[in-house]
Chain A
Amino acid sequence: MKINVVQRLLKVNDEIAEANRADLQEAGLVTFNIMSAPGSGKTTLIEQTISRTQGLLRIGVIEGDPETSIDAERIAKFDVPVTQIETAGGCHLEANLVRRALKGFDLPNLDLLIIENVGNLVCPASFDLGENVKVVMVSTTEGHDKPAKYPNMFRKADVVILNKMDLLPYVAFDFEVFREYIRKLNPDAALIDVSCVTGEGLDAWLLWIEERLAQESARQVP
């Protein structure tokens, strides 16, 4: 006997993501989901963001990794609330994991929640966590063809951060080809090139955050 079902596999995740989104909005904060391949510089970008906005922005961080709390320990040095999610081999974060982690934060007393996803350019794009902004990071050492190879991820980005610009002279990364790929896949995405090591471009990143926060608070019902 055949039973027709028509059940979305991601239904449960999406429902929890919407619940997260509602709770975060009610608490009056903006949430970023930072995604990239392993080693692009997500954690370093978060460190730089925190250190350059201390006293101005109240930031909380959720870290996601298959194993260890290495990243959370790095962030903890900055005296901001941080929780580590260890997925035990899972290659992406899901809404239920984030929901559990949210319980550990005093959300109304934060301005910005940054979720650092598991390093992976494929799966995280499919799992809504309840965020407002999708940040996709890539670095000059990864090759300019990444947007063409991972269109799904780059198409969903609100902002693309190209990191390790200080290494550009040493790698075969064609910035114009890269920029063109992004423009063709996602003309509305902001593209910010930075070096978390030299500090190049980080002002533009902070300005983008400021503008985005202003946009989101104007959008939220008081």
Chain B
Amino acid sequence: MSDKIEEEITRALAAEALAYEPPDHLVGETLAAAEEAGNPGPLARMRGWLESRRLRRRAETPRWAFAGMALAILVGLYGVGFMSLRSGQNQTSGDPDTQLDARAPGGIPEIQAPGREPGTGQDSVTGGQSAPQAPSCEGGNCPGMIAPDSAKSAPPGAGVDAGGGPDTTVGSAGEGGGVAPGPQGQAQRRAGSPPVDSIAPGPVPIPGPAPAPNAAAGPGIIRTGEMEVRVRKGRFEDAWARAMNIAGKHGGFVAGSSADQVKGRLSRGTLTVRIPAANLDAAIADFQRLGRLVRLTSSSSDVSGQLVDFDARIRAAQARELQLLELLRQARSVSDSLQVGTALSEVRTEIESLQAQRANLQSQVQLAALTVYVYEPQAAPERPKPLEGRLSTAWDRALDAGSLTLSTIVIGAGFVLPLVVLGLIVWGGLRLRRRLALR
């Protein structure tokens, strides 16, 4: 029945169409219109091309094409999310040169000028108290510190010698007396020069040589270490007390400590110490004698390039400062003086910032960081077997990577979603309008 009706419909339409014959003049008029239109413009060509593309005789879109499109969309979303994350990290991250030492949970140890009373540090957890002590500067200079005022008698424009001798320092401006470079200046510094953090910016900065690198650690090497020591049962507290003194014995200090109870008794603890790099090996040997050494790892990071860079930037800033001072002396009007004064203030701020960053980096070079885990046998940390450890680590990393990828895609989708919604609304409205027109 349905075939018959379809045949009838086809016949009826053909019969109706037969009654409509195109007029003879239609062909000529169409050709004339085409000639008159001339060559179509680019927009018209593009429109025609798009129409022909839609009708292009081709097979239905294979499934793999849809899969490819979906993959391309995901990759696109991931890319958008990745760029977003990267731009966010660039905005929030600070100068990497000022990163704190992560192994010193108490923060940057207080750098003190000679003659200053040591301050008190903070311990991270109850169960162990220690006061971080200032590094001992007896018997030698304290290259981890920034010298206070450098000598006013130093020649203007003197550069900072990055690889200079033990008496080289970076001068920071300060009133109340400069400090001459060389041994004389070193003695002055020990005699009670104002501490670094109390130096106020002054109008007459004189650049001085850069601080000397630590001979034992090399030109600029940051050393870190981690060790596990197992003590006999019941001997933790005694070992812990001895461990607390080892850092001071070698010219260092305890940056942080924590001790835990197991079954109602203190039996394991973690100690983080900062020790002059030259004495690190000796300190490690002393820690080993607390009990049985279970694990020891150490690493080094060469930051000499960064130190050189800091020195160069400080020299350049100090040279600019001298030029501005000269301009200030020659200024004849109040407005000129104000302008030069403002620029001078900015340069001074930059110099002090660079000096502080360099000092921080230098302190990390001078003072190695060592983390010591001390524990009794029954309080030992659970250790995975080597293979299990690797697989476990790989699995954790895979999960982290997967979650990061998914979150990146979600972030990308967040960027695109409002546009997609808007597009769908517009498209839906157009379709609805077409359908209503056909009803």
Interaction A to B = no
**Residues in B lying within 8 Å of A, measured CB to CB:** none
**Residues in A lying within 8 Å of B, measured CB to CB:** none
